[in-house]
Amino acid sequence: MAASSNSSLSGSSVSSDAEEYQPPIWKSYLYQLQQEAPRPKRIICPREVENRPKYYGREFHGIISREQADELLGGVEGAYILRESQRQPGCYTLALRFGNQTLNYRLFHDGKHFVGEKRFESIHDLVTDGLITLYIETKAAEYISKMTTNPIYEHIGYATLLREKVSRRLSRSKNEPRKTNVTHEEHTAVEKISSLVRRAALTHNDNHFNYERTAPL
């Protein structure tokens, strides 16, 4: 949408603008945080566990308490195990170490693993996504909140390019009657970009920030 608006407004080729385009700062920042997130560390059970569900691996430790799970994790960031609830047999929990505490999540399986709406092929993938989510939620909550309230186009290279074009066209056409119309159209293009990025940030929140801890199990 932004590219077509620019093409019609400037009359120049889109390719030249594409070469000047820089990735949005918010994307680069979140990508950096993703790379910094703790890595999953599976704590393997040293013994064979009877009645272990076939879709769980050796990270399953059978029926143990929260306190036992916490001890097994050993305070290692990103460490995780699976356990069966003492209070509710048949209910399974992911115990995950993050932020100097042990977090417990009710774990489900319907052909894929999940603790919220998002499904995963493996426990490893689920934990990886969870750690990234928790890390970003911890480190970037204020940043993302600002993104949804401040003018997002300030974070976008392409919108900066459009604003520069507005300024140049105003300086070249101070006495032209179409000045106001052109400025309005280009500012509209900037606002469209802002809206798209704001929705992207909100969608990111909706899709990922949905991990909730369980009640005591």
Write the pLDDT tens digit of every residue in 149-186: 655 444 444 444 545 555 665 566 555 555 444 445 44
In-domain check, residue 213: no
Cβ-contact 189, 18 below 8 angstroms = no
Q: What is the pLDDT of residue 205?
A: 40
Three-state DSSP string of 86-139: CCCCCCEEEEEEECCEEEEEEEEECCCEECCCCCECCHHHHHHHHHHHHHHHHH
pLDDT at 128: 96
Residues 23, 90, single domain; the answer is no
Residue 165: which domain range? Answer: 2-34+144-207
The Cα 195–Cα 148 span in angstroms is 10
Q: 3-class SS at 155? A: helix
Pairing of strands 113-114, 101-109: antiparallel
Judgement on whether residues 176 and 154 belong to the same structural domain of the protein: yes
Question: 128 and 148: one domain?
Answer: no
How many structural domains is the chain composed of?
Answer: 2
Domain annotation covers residue 217: no
What are phi and psi for residue 82, nearest 5 degrees? -115, 145
* Domain CATH for 52: 3.30.505.10
In a domain, 28, yes or no: yes
- Which pLDDT score is estimated for 99? 95
What is the rounded distance in angstroms from the CA atom of residue 133 to the CA atom of residue 116? Answer: 12
Per residue in 186-203, pLDDT (tens digit) is 444 444 434 433 444 444
Per the listing, tokens 């204020």 go with: 142
pLDDT digits (tens, 9 = 90+) for 110-156: 999 999 999 999 999 999 999 999 999 898 877 767 766 655 444 44
* 18 shares its domain with 48: no
Same domain, 46 and 103: yes
Residues 135, 155 within the same domain: no
pLDDT of 31 reads 85
Paired strand residues for 105: 94
pLDDT of residue 175: 55
Does residue 106 sit in the same domain as residue 161?
Answer: no
The reply to whether 7 and 52 lie within a common domain is: no
Based on the domain organization, do 190 and 175 belong to the same domain? yes
In a domain, 12, yes or no: yes
Domain edge (last residue) among 139, 171, 196? 139
- Let me know if residue 192 belongs to a domain: yes
- The verdict on 42 and 122 lying in the same domain is yes
Per-residue pLDDT at 150: 58
CA distances from residue 128 to 6, 107, 196, 206 in whole angstroms, order as listed: 39, 15, 28, 18
Same domain, residue pair 119 and 158: no
169 within some domain: yes
The answer to whether 61 touches 70, Cβ cutoff 8 Å, is no
Is 214 within the bounds of a domain?
no
Assigned domain for 212 exists: no
Last residue of a domain, one of 83, 106, 139: 139
Last residue of a domain, which of 84, 116, 139?
Answer: 139
What's the pLDDT tens digit per position in 61-93?
999 999 999 999 999 999 999 999 998 999 999
**Is 107 within 8 Å of 93 (Cβ atoms)?**
yes
The single residue listed with the structure tokens 């932004």 is 2
Q: Residue 170 has what pLDDT?
A: 58
Indicate if 102 and 177 belong to the same structural domain.
no
pLDDT of residue 39: 96
